[in-house]
């Protein structure tokens, strides 16, 4: 569990799930050992007295099976305030780049030590959206590729949750060529 009792009532509860080494100002970084998407009891202990305003999760959902991902979506819905949101990014099955898809694929590129070795699924925008819609969220697609590999992006503010592997923030995309993308959504709990 995590302890959010120190956050003043006037400040939002903003949580990064599966943060790894990521740290963003104004966000509490958590990892699997403290807030596991597959352990609902940790979420109840953490948010039972005060649900979250915002959740941020970059390149984590692909480490869950589809069934686990659907149950994790319901868990996030349960512990968000009405009107709260989850900003969530995963590798994009429709990005037409062989080297990228080699890393993104199920099982990763080969060596068991590779961080992508436990990839369990590669989402396209339709399936990923469905995971969250079925959990009760309304979904905005922020960045994604369509079936023809065309990249689409809608304006979004890093102030509401920075996603590094994105058009604007990822250093690999400087210089006008798109080299690394994510499928990025905002999943909002009605309220
Ligand atoms: C590729 S790393 C991404 C780390 C970080 N979000 C980033 O973008 O650099 C995948 C992360 O997912 C986390 N993770 C995997 N399964 C998880 C789970 N069930 N609950 C929470 N985090 C999980 C891992 O601990 C790891 O930190």
8 domain-assigned: no
Q: Predicted confidence band at 168 (pLDDT cuts at 50, 70, 90)? A: very high
Give me the pLDDT at residue 111, please. Answer: 84
88 domain-assigned: yes
Give the domain extent around 96.
14-188
76 domain-assigned: yes
Q: Is the pLDDT of residue 33 over 90?
A: yes
Q: Is the CB of 58 under 6 A from ligand 1?
A: yes
What number is the average pLDDT over the span 161-188?
96
6 domain-assigned: no
Strand 183-188 and strand 138-145: pairing? antiparallel
Looking at the 3D structure of the chain, how many domains does it have? 1
CA 95 remoteness from chain centre: 17
Name every residue whose Cβ is closer than 8 Å to that of residue 93 and which is 6 or more positions away in sequence: 101, 104, 122, 123, 124, 183
| % pLDDT > 70, the chain | 100
1 domain-assigned: no
Q: Is the pLDDT of residue 61 over 90?
A: yes
7 domain-assigned: no
pLDDT digits (tens, 9 = 90+) for 91-109: 999 999 999 999 999 999 9
Q: Is the CB of 90 under 6 A from ligand 1?
A: no
In CATH, what number is assigned to the domain containing residue 114? Answer: 3.40.50
Q: Which of 167, 183, 51 is nearest to 126 (CA)?
A: 183
**Alpha carbon nearest to ligand 1 atom 1, residue:** 59
Q: Is the pLDDT of residue 110 over 90?
A: no
4 domain-assigned: no
140 domain-assigned: yes
Ligand 1, from 2, 18, 74: best to mutate by most atoms within 8 Å of Cβ?
18
């Amino acid at each position: 569990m995590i302890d959010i009792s120190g956050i003043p009532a006037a400040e939002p509860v903003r949580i990064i799930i599966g943060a790894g080494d990521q740290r963003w100002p104004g966000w509490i970084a958590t990892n699997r050992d403290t807030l596991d998407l597959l352990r609902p009891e940790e979420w109840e202990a953490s948010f039972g007295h005060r649900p979250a305003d915002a959740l941020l999760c970059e390149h984590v959902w692909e480490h869950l099976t589809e069934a686990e991902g659907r149950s994790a979506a319901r868990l996030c819905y349960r512990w968000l305030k009405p009107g709260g949101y989850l900003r969530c990014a995963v590798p994009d099955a429709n990005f037409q780049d062989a080297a990228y898809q080699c890393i993104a694929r199920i099982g990763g590129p080969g060596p068991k030590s590779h961080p992508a070795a436990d990839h369990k699924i590669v989402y396209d925008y339709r399936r990923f959206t469905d995971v969250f819609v079925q959990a009760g969220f309304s979904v905005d697609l922020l960045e994604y590729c369509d079936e023809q590999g065309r990249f689409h992006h809608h304006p979004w503010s890093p102030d509401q949750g920075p996603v590094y592997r994105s058009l604007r923030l990822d250093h690999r995309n400087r210089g006008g060529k798109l080299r690394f993308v994510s499928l990025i959504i905002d999943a909002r709990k009605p309220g």
